Structure 1
């Protein structure tokens, strides 16, 4: 079988996939992986249901996050990112993060795998590795770490499904890239835009693609996520008890453009705050990301002019750490020197 990948991504909605057969090992796993493959080729986005992540854990995470963001700015700044050093952890205020050089209309907290000072990567001064900064809110630390553990397990399961969708062994990514994944977690709060726009649209986060292999997003009931299609921007509204998944630049690179990292953006049009919880399941920091030899598949790649940043992921050579650092340095230029 030969597939000619045409870069005309036209889709009208994000598909919903019940992944229970991948979770429990029962049912038609082949049908699920086929749906995942189709979604990755056509839109780069898909909802998952039947994921088995505890609803009580999700509710606690959302309640504690609202409690944190309801505090005054001075209190939230007690765990500001400047205190996180090379670990790149902590809180940033509204406008503190940039997309394509423009401030985003959101605030948030950065987390990652919890590593103590004696961990070899921390002792070596590896950027984006270390201890988290948690607010002194009861159960906040425990809830975030429990949620990250659940997302990490789910990430391994989904990457096995993605491998099978490509006709690869289910352990393909774990064996080469994600046995010890770089796991990054964000809690974002998008306040309502109450300021005069003066004719310019303001974005909670502007058009962008994600950097790694897989993003698993929990969003609240507010809506506002939009996915780019050749036919226009498509809304990805909340679906009960689901996560939104999308593939990142490194999976796009590995598959030669067969699976696309699709641009997306957020605009909070509600009258209240919007919470979102993106979890990034990424390759090991030090691994070199290489194209996969996809037997029987021919893929045509010419996406530089199509991308939001005019930079083709297929031109990149090096480790995932080098790639992600080149990106995050532009997101927080004021903290660049503490990481690089």
Structure 2
């Protein structure tokens, strides 16, 4: 019984103090090891900012872009084609996808259009079989298909919520799951997800859209670590992209009639994203360092963050959504 007496200064039974002290020093040694090993990594990270790493050669590789018929997907396809990349456009809008492929072929690369509902696992499975049979294995997979939905939670219908989750989350999971197996067999590939700044910064005027983009960011972060643990970290790259709002989306421009910050152009956004992909960056913010500013803001108490929202971002001035 005496051994179980709690010392006022320790707060723990005497027979448990020794193991706790030993555990503390083991963790401390691990932290010191991380600092020693992480120093060169931090140095290289800063060096890469000052002198970005070279673009990798993707000439002759095959890139698949979902939602690639228009807007950001189309611009990324054109830029990748400039680097000699062959393109597969997957979109529900087949007419626009074929028009984009016509423009891509003018750059002397092969281009193919497929009409597919990427939220359907069976349809994506069938697509993968067709691409492997018609063209060959996919080297770069860009999950770009997505829906934007500006409204408060109580104004989102059941059908709207299901559709958002199907397209913005499930399609990324299904497409990645199906094409990842072959990348593992070949021990090479690159998986890209076009998320949103809403995946880092919760947007109160787009509750369900924000929810889906947080899911995408979590999915890509977990996938990156899965591949690293399985030994594919250097063979299969991942890139999660978080852009600010882009001006070519009509649903965005209609909602953000007088935005606090200027909307991005599609051309600029695509250029930053493709450069990030070709540099094997695990995360890309558009514009660069926007995510760093947001993450720094999240260090502060919620009340301070809300002051930033009210004074700097001026979210309360967005009146086009009914409460």
- Is TM more than 0.5 here? no
Highest RCO, 1 vs 2 (Cα 8 Å, sep ≥ 6): 1
* TM-score between both structures, scaled by the size of structure 1: 0.25
Determine which structure has the larger helix proportion and give its number: 2
Say which one has the larger Rg: 2
